[in-house]
Structure 1
């Protein structure tokens, strides 16, 4: 898809992948609609791209709230007359074994990681269809949406759901004869702000999970050891949009775990312990 002069909508734009998407889309000459709960981070992202001269709209948004995502779409069309590249990117994480996850863990993570994508699709895709012409949707999942590592059950469930949601969306859009492409982003561990996502967790959903600090620290150490940056992931993602590629698996070493899982399913084996890079 040609990006110059089009409009990109980015949730989770205050940091990590979202901020890098904004930088690269601005470099391509795209107008930007930046959404996030983190108002200070949102302003910092705007400042980072302001010198490019592209149109920028910042909208503080909680993607777990459908009315806020709908308002985001309305403001996008009011300001720019359309939307062409949607990044359903906002995400949070909770850690610990399945039995230790609180109901509040489940609600928080699924409301943001899964329902945030659902809300984005429901509010933006019908408008994209109505406007006609090429458009593209990028849903941020994870390699944890392709394999099932221990200690990440709530997060994995949300990301597996995003992968299959993206696949279904792709088929539905093809069947409808649209020119809207779809990509699902499945990165491994990368240095982003997701390890600190608890800072935006609603107070009413902060129930104690005694295992979360232990497992969270392990995951944080792996993230810090990663040599792949958010910019690297964003560059691969923009290239995939331009080339209209569906699966964006950014860590080639993840292929072994994905292959082992699929082989195990076909051979009716018990699941193998996966490794996530």
Structure 2
């Protein structure tokens, strides 16, 4: 006897409603485009209202409705209002993608307190606020649905000069694993999944440098190299979203943009924990990242 073939994303989600935080750009935009393309109604929840409206306008001819709303995920009342409005307008939410997130560069002891709090309020608190706003309504409705939280391969690893981001993504993964267990206790037909993307094309490193510049030359060199590597080899956001949505539709808890890289990150973390190994040599890590950013031929 063989296992049943899992449903495709279109089979599972078409006709339903998705909410994507941080949906106006990057991975979030990829999700919005793909979910609209498979016939979902999509709510773009982003601080960048103009960007969200442009995207919604571009997708207006699709099968589902795409609407944009300005939301600060760090504001619990804003998320509560978004949930109330979304359920009133569409009647249900079949997929909540908690994607909004920030990066930042620099030595931990030089990170401004305000930037630390801002990053945590978006990357971690934003998911907490969204879960508090949407999940009780999803449970009460009693329909199959998915809550997908954006961690990262960084959520199972460590790296210098981006500590706040790494801390937040470890926290998101812990939150999601615990939430998965808590929802199971309710018996509700709600799937909880953790998304751990690898390199997906975006402006996250440029945005970090613009919003919270650092004077540390090594941190700036690292983020320049990471941005260059992202541009050169990062996955297209639409392609990544299609792959990750298929995994969500199949019921996976661990969802990767790149299965090979994602599983390798899990294996590497398992080896570190099993062997009680110290963190990797940061000089070697920086050299590897800078090498990834080099064009063919080996020099800039």
Kindly report the root-mean-square deviation, in angstroms, between the aligned alpha carbons of the 2 structures.
2.1
How far off its partner does 1:213 sit? Answer: 3.5
Q: Take 1:235 and 1:56, find their aligned partners in 2: how far apart are those partners?
A: 17
Q: Say if 1:16 and 1:230, in contact at 8 Å, map to a contact too.
A: yes
Q: Take 2:107 and 2:21, find their aligned partners in 1: how far apart are those partners?
A: 29
Mark the CA change 1:43 to 1:200 in structure 2 (over 3 Å): closer, same or farther. farther
Q: Take 1:20 and 1:250, find their aligned partners in 2: how far apart are those partners?
A: 11
- 1:49 pairs, out of 59, 69, 72, with 59
Q: Say if 1:137 and 1:180, in contact at 8 Å, map to a contact too.
A: yes
Equivalent in the alignment of 2:233:
226
How far off its partner does 1:184 sit? Answer: 1.1
Q: Say if 1:191 and 1:230, in contact at 8 Å, map to a contact too.
A: yes
Q: Say if 2:46 and 2:72, in contact at 8 Å, map to a contact too.
A: yes
Q: Say if 1:94 and 1:216, in contact at 8 Å, map to a contact too.
A: no
Structure 1 unaligned spans of 5+: none
Does residue 14 of the first structure (1) align with residue 9 of the second (2)? no
Q: Say if 2:206 and 2:227, in contact at 8 Å, map to a contact too.
A: no
* 1:75-101 Cα shifts (integer Å, max 9, x gaps): 101111121110101111101222222
* 1:221-275 Cα shifts (integer Å, max 9, x gaps): 2222224111121011110121010111233135444323222212222123567
Q: Take 2:116 and 2:37, find their aligned partners in 1: how far apart are those partners?
A: 37
Equivalent in the alignment of 1:137:
147
Q: TM-score, normalised by structure 1?
A: 0.91
Q: Which runs of 4+ in 1 moved over 4 A?
A: 198-201, 273-277
Partner SS, residue 217 of structure 1? helix
Does residue 246 of the first structure (1) align with residue 256 of the second (2)? no
- 2:215 pairs, out of 204, 210, 214, with 210
Mark the CA change 1:65 to 1:196 in structure 2 (over 3 Å): closer, same or farther. farther
Q: TM-score, normalised by structure 2?
A: 0.84
Q: Take 1:64 and 1:85, find their aligned partners in 2: how far apart are those partners?
A: 20
Does residue 127 of the first structure (1) align with residue 132 of the second (2)? no
Which has more radius of gyration?
2
Equivalent in the alignment of 1:103:
113
* 1:57-110 Cα shifts (integer Å, max 9, x gaps): 321011111111111101101111121110101111101222222212211111
Equivalent in the alignment of 1:69:
79
Q: Take 1:73 and 1:162, find their aligned partners in 2: how far apart are those partners?
A: 21
- Stretch moving more, 142-151 or 248-257: 248-257
Equivalent in the alignment of 2:15:
5
Equivalent in the alignment of 2:4:
none
* 1:202-228 Cα shifts (integer Å, max 9, x gaps): xxxx6x642254443232222222241
- 1:58 pairs, out of 52, 68, 85, with 68
Does residue 30 of the first structure (1) align with residue 37 of the second (2)? no
Q: Say if 2:33 and 2:238, in contact at 8 Å, map to a contact too.
A: no
How far off its partner does 1:46 sit? Answer: 0.1
How far off its partner does 1:33 sit? Answer: 1.2
